[in-house]
């Protein structure tokens, strides 16, 4: 099931940080993964940006 997260990206550097982690553009990130929401959230938090889980997509 895809999960949607909101990632606080305010510049290209922020977007690049998220892209390096998930190879996706900044803003809302939709992830289809077998990993738990907790694992995905922990990985997104490695960008150092504010992240929140928006729910299943």
Residue 22's φ and ψ, nearest 5 degrees, are -125, 0
Q: Give the per-residue pLDDT at 38.
A: 92
- Condensed to tens digits (0 to 9), the pLDDT of residues 5-56 reads 877 778 888 777 777 776 655 557 677 778 888 998 888 888 888 888 888 8
CA dist 22 and 12 (Å) reads: 15
Q: Give the per-residue pLDDT at 52.
A: 86
Q: Give the per-residue pLDDT at 27.
A: 59
Region at 28 (left for phi over 0; alpha for psi -120 to 50; beta for the rest): beta
Q: Give the per-residue pLDDT at 24.
A: 53
- In sequence order, which ranges of 1-57 are alpha helices (DSSP H)? 12-22, 37-45
Q: Give the per-residue pLDDT at 9.
A: 77
Alpha carbons within 13 angstroms on the beta-carbon side of residue 5 total 25
């Amino acid at each position: 099931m895809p999960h949607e997260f909101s990632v606080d990206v305010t510049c290209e550097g922020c977007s690049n940080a998220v892209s390096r982690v998930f190879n996706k553009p900044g803003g809302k990130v939709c992830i289809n993964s077998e990993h738990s929401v907790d694992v995905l959230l922990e990985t997104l938090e490695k960008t150092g940006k504010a992240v929140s889980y928006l729910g299943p997509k």
